[in-house]
């Protein structure tokens, strides 16, 4: 039986599978469709949200275009904030009043859309970043609306929007130099602090990596602590000014403590250290009480502790007190400051197990070195107000107080 050749097909054409064919990009048609939803529902955002949620528009491809329509009423020209050809609506964020009550419905509307389509958060980031980097292309009134909207996105906890998306694009040199960024961020702070505390704002700034760099929002000519206070006081943001002044104060205290720690560790001459402290007090306007507290901390931090050997610890601490008595004496210049030092000793001896039994010896040493006056010690003994370990310390100090009283009677 002869075998037959199998028939073959001539001129076979290989077809490209449909999934490999890229659909043409048509953001203009998408934008027109979204605009039409706005127009059909007369800008009622609840109805617009329902229509958007039920539509079969390709949001995954045209997410940026969708938010351009939300913000500006239509599609914008690529790389700009200028309107492009096509349909537009008058219910956008840019077209409303620059007021909280006018803009918050748009924030709630976007929240609804993001709950249904969470992947759009990236597109919202893209559009906001582009607009914030182009603030100079908007009118002043429009920038204020963007600032209010941006603040409300965080007040309303708009799903997943990272703060750095907002703050980092603002730090363009040309925008900062023109004062545009400072105006924007001031409107942002004012709106955010309407419903939130200054602590909430600071936490937000920390998340956005801006808490340490607030002066970067200021043009270089105004970039100072005084400029910061003057600007935000004028804007009515006194709570922010108070926070910044407190923070600057803490920074100055830390700087002084760092310098003193080095000088005491190196056993710098006492007179030189005294001049250092006086200069810091003058430059930073540090209160006397804080100076006394820092001096005691630095002196005790420099003690060479020897583990569990109580006597060696006592000797080391008392030697340190004697060594730096002149330094303490210079800044404990009245009874109030002496009492503050005594409270500081009390708290440290209470908190540190190594020192708890040394309290009466330290007090006696400070008395012998003329740092603490007899009246100060007696006042603390009879009427001291700090409760930390007070009963224990009063009992331990009683023999010394009795000695002081007997000596006073003899005199």
Give the pLDDT confidence score for residue 404 in this predicted structure.
87
Residue 14 in this model has a pLDDT that exceeds 50: no
**Mean pLDDT rounded to a whole number for the chain:** 88
State which of 236, 271, 294 marks the end of a domain: 236
Give the sign of the dihedral formed by CA 194, CA 200, CA 202, CA 207.
negative
Q: Do 352 and 268 share a structural domain? A: yes
Nearest residue to 72 via CA among 87, 61, 86, 83 = 83
User: Is residue 8 situated within a structural domain?
Assistant: no
**Over residues 99-116, mean pLDDT:** 93
State which of 236, 260, 289 marks the end of a domain: 236
Q: Do 208 and 186 share a structural domain? A: yes
> Residues 186-216: pLDDT tens digits?
999 999 999 999 999 999 999 988 888 899 9
> Residues 301-323: pLDDT tens digits?
988 876 667 788 788 888 999 99
Residue 107 in this model has a pLDDT that exceeds 70: yes
User: Is residue 216 situated within a structural domain?
Assistant: yes
Q: Do 200 and 93 share a structural domain? A: yes
Give the pLDDT confidence score for residue 201 in this predicted structure.
94
State the pTM of this model. Answer: 0.74
State which of 236, 257, 272 marks the end of a domain: 236
Nearest residue to 340 via CA among 348, 149, 9, 181 = 348
Give the pLDDT confidence score for residue 1 in this predicted structure.
46
**For residues 197 and 401, what is the distance between their CA atoms, to the nearest angstrom?**
49
Q: Do 225 and 251 share a structural domain? A: no
> Residues 269-292: pLDDT tens digits?
999 999 999 999 988 888 999 999
User: Is residue 10 situated within a structural domain?
Assistant: no
Query: 50-59, 71-80, 83-92: which has the highest mean pLDDT?
Result: 50-59
**For residues 115 and 109, what is the distance between their CA atoms, to the nearest angstrom?**
10
User: Taking the C-alpha atoms of 324, 327, 330 and 333 in order, what is their torsion angle to the nearest 10 degrees?
Assistant: -60
Report percent pLDDT > 90 for the chain: 65
Q: Do 216 and 298 share a structural domain? A: no
Give the pLDDT confidence score for residue 346 in this predicted structure.
94
362 CB-near residues (< 8 Å, 6+ apart): 317, 318, 321, 345, 349, 355
Give the pLDDT confidence score for residue 16 in this predicted structure.
42
Q: Do 54 and 78 share a structural domain? A: yes
Give the pLDDT confidence score for residue 309 in this predicted structure.
73
> Residues 344-362: pLDDT tens digits?
999 999 998 888 888 999 9
Residue 24 in this model has a pLDDT that exceeds 60: no
User: Distances in Å between the alpha carbon of 1 and those of 4, 8, 373?
Assistant: 9, 22, 131
**For residues 409 and 128, what is the distance between their CA atoms, to the nearest angstrom?**
80
Give the pLDDT confidence score for residue 410 in this predicted structure.
60
Angle, CA of 49, 55 and 56, to the nearest 5°: 145
Give the pLDDT confidence score for residue 299 in this predicted structure.
93
Q: Do 211 and 63 share a structural domain? A: yes
Give the pLDDT confidence score for residue 354 in this predicted structure.
82
Q: Do 254 and 220 share a structural domain? A: no
Give the pLDDT confidence score for residue 22 in this predicted structure.
42
230, 238 contact by CB (below 8 A): no
Give the pLDDT confidence score for residue 295 in this predicted structure.
94
Query: 81-95, 148-162, 205-219, 332-346: which has the highest mean pLDDT?
Result: 332-346
How far out from the chain centre does Cα 268 lie? 37
**Over residues 105-132, mean pLDDT:** 93
Q: Do 303 and 229 share a structural domain? A: no
Domain count, the chain: 2
User: Is residue 5 situated within a structural domain?
Assistant: no
User: Is residue 119 situated within a structural domain?
Assistant: yes
Give the pLDDT confidence score for residue 78 in this predicted structure.
74
User: Is residue 13 situated within a structural domain?
Assistant: no
Q: Do 232 and 130 share a structural domain? A: yes
User: Is residue 86 situated within a structural domain?
Assistant: yes
**Residues of the domain holding 377:** 246-410
Residue 10 in this model has a pLDDT that exceeds 80: no
Q: Do 169 and 55 share a structural domain? A: yes
**Over residues 394-408, mean pLDDT:** 87
Angle, CA of 73, 115 and 109, to the nearest 5°: 35
Residue 260 in this model has a pLDDT that exceeds 80: yes
Residue 2 in this model has a pLDDT that exceeds 60: no
Q: Do 333 and 197 share a structural domain? A: no
The CATH number for 319's domain is 1.25.40.180
User: Is residue 4 situated within a structural domain?
Assistant: no
């Amino acid at each position: 039986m002869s075998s037959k050749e199998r028939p073959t097909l001539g001129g076979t054409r290989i077809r490209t599978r449909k999934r490999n064919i890229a659909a043409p990009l048509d953001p203009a048609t998408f934008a027109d469709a979204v605009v039409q939803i706005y127009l059909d529902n007369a800008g009622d955002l609840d109805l617009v949200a329902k229509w958007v949620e039920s539509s079969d528009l390709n949001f995954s491809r045209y997410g940026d275009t969708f938010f351009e329509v939300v913000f500006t009423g239509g599609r914008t020209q690529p790389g700009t904030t200028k309107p492009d050809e096509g349909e537009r609506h008058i219910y956008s964020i840019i077209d409303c009043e620059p007021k909280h009550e006018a803009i918050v419905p748009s924030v709630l509307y976007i929240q609804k859309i993001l709950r249904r389509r969470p992947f759009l958060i990236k597109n919202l980031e893209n559009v906001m970043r582009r607009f914030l980097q182009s603030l100079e292309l908007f009118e002043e009134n429009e920038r204020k609306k963007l600032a209010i909207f941006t603040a409300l996105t965080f007040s309303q906890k708009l799903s997943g929007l990272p703060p750095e998306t907002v703050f980092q694009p603002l730090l363009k040199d040309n925008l900062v130099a023109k004062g545009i960024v400072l105006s924007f961020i001031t409107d942002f702070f004012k709106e955010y602090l309407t419903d939130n505390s200054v602590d909430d704002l600071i936490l937000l700034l920390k998340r956005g990596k801006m808490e340490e760099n607030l002066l970067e929002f200021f043009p270089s000519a105004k970039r100072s602590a005084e400029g910061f206070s003057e600007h935000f006081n004028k804007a009515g943001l006194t709570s922010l000014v108070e926070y910044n002044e407190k923070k600057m104060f803490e920074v100055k205290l830390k700087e002084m403590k760092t310098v003193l720690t080095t000088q005491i560790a190196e056993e710098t001459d006492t007179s030189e250290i005294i001049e250092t402290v006086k200069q810091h007090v003058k430059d930073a306007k540090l209160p006397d009480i804080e100076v006394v507290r820092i001096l005691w901390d630095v002196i005790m931090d420099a003690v060479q502790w020897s583990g569990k050997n109580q006597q060696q610890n006592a000797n080391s601490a008392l030697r340190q007190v004697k060594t730096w008595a002149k330094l303490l004496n210079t800044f404990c210049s009245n009874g109030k400051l002496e009492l503050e030092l005594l409270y500081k000793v009390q708290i440290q001896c209470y908190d540190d197990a190594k020192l708890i039994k040394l309290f009466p010896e330290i007090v006696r040493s400070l008395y012998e070195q003329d740092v603490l006056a007899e009246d100060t010690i007696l006042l603390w003994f009879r009427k001291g107000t700090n409760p930390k370990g007070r009963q224990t310390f009063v009992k331990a100090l009683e023999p010394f107080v009795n000695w002081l009283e007997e000596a006073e009677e003899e005199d």
